[in-house]
Structure 1
Amino acid sequence: MTDHVGQRPSGGDTRGFPDSLAITPSDLGRRVSVRRVLDIRDGRPVYGDVLGTLLDWRGGRLVVESRDGSRVEIAEESVVAGKIVPPAPVRRGRRAVAAHLAPSAEELQAVGARGWPALETARLAAPAAPWLLRAARGFTRRANSALAVEDQAGSADLGATARRLVEWYADRGLPALAQVVDGSPAAAGLEELGWGAEGHAVLRTAPLSALLTAGSEGAAGRGVRLERTPSDAWLAEYGKVSDPETARAVLAGGPSVWFASVPAGEAEGGNGEDGEDGCAAIGRCVVDGRWAGFAAVEVVPAARRRGLASTVMAALAERAAQEGADLAYLQVEADNGPAARLYDKLGFAEHHRYHYRRAPQD
């Protein structure tokens, strides 16, 4: 079982590191450049640079993931410099693309995977494509499916990949599922192999500023509560939990996670004491560098059409902005019309679509 980052630390102790080290453990999820000593030759150090996303920093090591999905472990003692690297420049003029739409589908799929981490992960080795395998005792498709590394899917033996996926998930008593971007080589290849399509979804993005104003007055007046772990009342409203221990481990995973709730009594004008009639509305947000990922936004039927969904998201957005995020994303079922209308109003645009492929039964 692999380690996961957990909640974002509030800071990092970099005493003893060179002044050129401008990153700390609090920069988890950000794009960084790290220079470290690879070797000593003829009494002189040989340096190497790593560019990618800072996934982990603890136990005397850093883990940086590059755009192709490969991970590099770096010993703290070998680091001589490090800095935050801005996202790739956004095109200007006629081909200008808003910052939240500029990243590739593969980049955002990786961000989404970090924000909804499985309990166990692994990567396939050649000749199979180095897809990310994820398992979490069956809690949600997202945490129990293989995530394709799209830019390498066409160069690897997809048949070998499919066989390895089936074997890996069978060993864990789970069906073999793959999360693929619509129209991608991986989706087409698995379709040719007879893997059926299901779970069609849309990944939407927006500037975080669009959410900061939506429902902000309601957030202040309705006492949205923010916590680091989901309460029993929060899980009860989420309603997709058969194994609370597993659900909490997945939901609370990610770089920096917040759970929002509006107590039912407070939403109805009561005193809002803990446990009073459960939650009227809930939501979850994970902060990963400049990205804030929203999920599990639910409102009980009796409290709908009061602006509680946008209220919850505004409160979460404010906290994410305090941690340095400026872009937002969420993933929603393609046929969820009410959610689509809400997210349209909040400024979310469709970035790309994805779905799951299930291995055929013998």
Structure 2
Amino acid sequence: MRRMSTDVSNLPLGSRVVVRWRLEAPDPATGATLTDAVGTLLSRDGETVTVETSRGPVTIPTSRITAAKEVPPKPSRRGASHLALSIEDLQRVMTPAWGAVERATLGDWALRASAGYTQRGNSVVPVGSPGKPLADAIADVEDWYAARGLPAKFALAGPQGFDPAGDPLGALLLDRGYTIGSLTLNMTAAREKIVAADPGGPSLTVSRDLTPQWLEVYRRTRTTVPGATETVLLDSPRVIFASIAPGGGLSQQLGLRTAGAAGITPIALARIGIGAGWAGLGAVWTDPAYRGRGLAAHLTAGLAALLREEGISLIHLQVEHDNDTATRLYRRLGFDVHSSYAYLTSPDTRTETR
């Protein structure tokens, strides 16, 4: 398990954390010298942190902290841990796993802009309250995106197959001429189930840095925006890039032609973004010439195994609702559909075409 750090400066305010700290004197009943505070991180400064626990706020001198880390939100229902989170809490968990060039908040809502690169990087996560009437909040969101030459876009979540028109926010957006698109499934899984489903395969190349080779191949998989793409890919609290490159061992194992010297262009990619106590899998891709060989499954399971060192036991991913091939793959690995979301996009004519 990943060791908890004594550094609390990078823990997001409002996140759920566990902070271990030294008592002034041993507990008279148990003799313990350490205790844990589990709850929401309310504040921090150079000398103290305050955690809202189930028993009330606890203020802890930073000099007494021996370990601290972010942990997943509390389950909201019974069942498997990866399915026990509410739809809203999963949206909160997913938000830091994919990056953005610019982030802002409107009450509880999270706004993201990334020069048009990816819908996730250029949309609102409307979870919680915006702190004002919905109509006013929508107008503020539209102004914020228009100032950046982008259409306002809301990632509206609900149960699988939900109708955005049945949601109060969704109904208002549709009345304003917003269009529904990119219906997406949120799939979740427990780490060890994915690890156990590994079909086996060649070794992975893993890095916390965005290497030129990984980025070069990724640019072939979709339209990118120089500068914005790199920022988005790196903008998670923790990130892991993985790839598989062909070589002698891979060619023998898969019955493929010899690919040449080591260090050549990868033929399979994946990325993990870690935040809010979960890992988000994305950017999974295999060269068409090498598909059907189990590389995507092996890459996913290999990354899941690496999460043991990160102390992360839960994984989420997003897949378009009609991508049957990907959905079958992830189900075989042990992922279940948790919920879904749709993008509702403004027809605002103030924005530029990108």
TM-score by length of 2: 0.75
* Residue pairs, 1:45-194, within 5 angstroms: 51-52=39-40, 87-88=73-74, 96-124=78-106, 130-149=108-127, 151-152=128-129, 156-182=132-158, 183=164, 184-194=167-177
Q: Given that residues 38 and 51 in structure 2 are in contact (C-alpha distance below 8 angstroms), is that contact kept between their aligned partners in structure 1?
A: yes
Cα deviation, residue 83, structure 1: 6.7
Query: What residue is the counterpart of 1:329 in the other structure?
Result: 316
SS of 1:279's partner is coil
Q: Given that residues 187 and 316 in structure 2 are in contact (C-alpha distance below 8 angstroms), is that contact kept between their aligned partners in structure 1?
A: yes
Please tell me whether residue 32 in structure 1 is matched to residue 17 in structure 2: yes
Mapped to 2, the partners of 1:53 and 1:283 lie a distance apart of 31
Change (3 A) 1:292 1:224: same
Match of 2:239 among 238, 242, 257: 257
Q: Given that residues 73 and 276 in structure 2 are in contact (C-alpha distance below 8 angstroms), is that contact kept between their aligned partners in structure 1?
A: no
Cα deviation, residue 78, structure 1: 10
SS of 1:190's partner is helix
Q: Which runs of 5+ in 2 are unaligned?
A: 21-36, 54-58, 159-163, 253-257, 350-354
Please tell me whether residue 232 in structure 1 is matched to residue 212 in structure 2: yes
**Letter of the structure 2 residue corresponding to residue 141 of structure 1:** Q
Mapped to 2, the partners of 1:65 and 1:137 lie a distance apart of 37
Cα deviation, residue 198, structure 1: 1.1
| 259-268 or 293-302, larger mean C-alpha shift | 259-268
Mapped to 1, the partners of 2:182 and 2:342 lie a distance apart of 5
Mapped to 2, the partners of 1:272 and 1:324 lie a distance apart of 37
Mapped to 2, the partners of 1:329 and 1:354 lie a distance apart of 14
Cα deviation, residue 145, structure 1: 0.7
Q: Given that residues 73 and 89 in structure 2 are in contact (C-alpha distance below 8 angstroms), is that contact kept between their aligned partners in structure 1?
A: no
Mapped to 1, the partners of 2:152 and 2:318 lie a distance apart of 21
Q: Which runs of 5+ in 1 are unaligned?
A: 1-8, 15-23, 36-48, 67-73
Change (3 A) 1:325 1:28: farther
Q: Given that residues 258 and 286 in structure 1 are in contact (C-alpha distance below 8 angstroms), is that contact kept between their aligned partners in structure 2?
A: yes
Cα deviation, residue 50, structure 1: 9.2
Mapped to 1, the partners of 2:273 and 2:102 lie a distance apart of 19
**Letter of the structure 2 residue corresponding to residue 231 of structure 1:** T
Mapped to 1, the partners of 2:215 and 2:133 lie a distance apart of 41
| Alignment RMSD (CA, Å) | 3.7
Q: Given that residues 237 and 275 in structure 2 are in contact (C-alpha distance below 8 angstroms), is that contact kept between their aligned partners in structure 1?
A: yes
Query: What residue is the counterpart of 1:286 in the other structure?
Result: 273
Mapped to 2, the partners of 1:273 and 1:87 lie a distance apart of 46
Q: Given that residues 12 and 26 in structure 1 are in contact (C-alpha distance below 8 angstroms), is that contact kept between their aligned partners in structure 2?
A: no
Mapped to 2, the partners of 1:158 and 1:337 lie a distance apart of 35
Change (3 A) 1:193 1:343: same
Change (3 A) 1:319 1:81: closer
Match of 1:342 among 329, 342, 346: 329
Query: What residue is the counterpart of 2:305 in the other structure?
Result: 318
Encode CA deviations 1:60-81: one digit per residue, 9 max, x unaligned. Answer: 7879899xxxxxxx99769989
Structure with the larger RCO, 1 or 2 (CA within 8 Å, 6+ apart): 2
Q: Given that residues 46 and 62 in structure 2 are in contact (C-alpha distance below 8 angstroms), is that contact kept between their aligned partners in structure 1?
A: no
Cα deviation, residue 241, structure 1: 4.3
TM-score by length of 1: 0.74
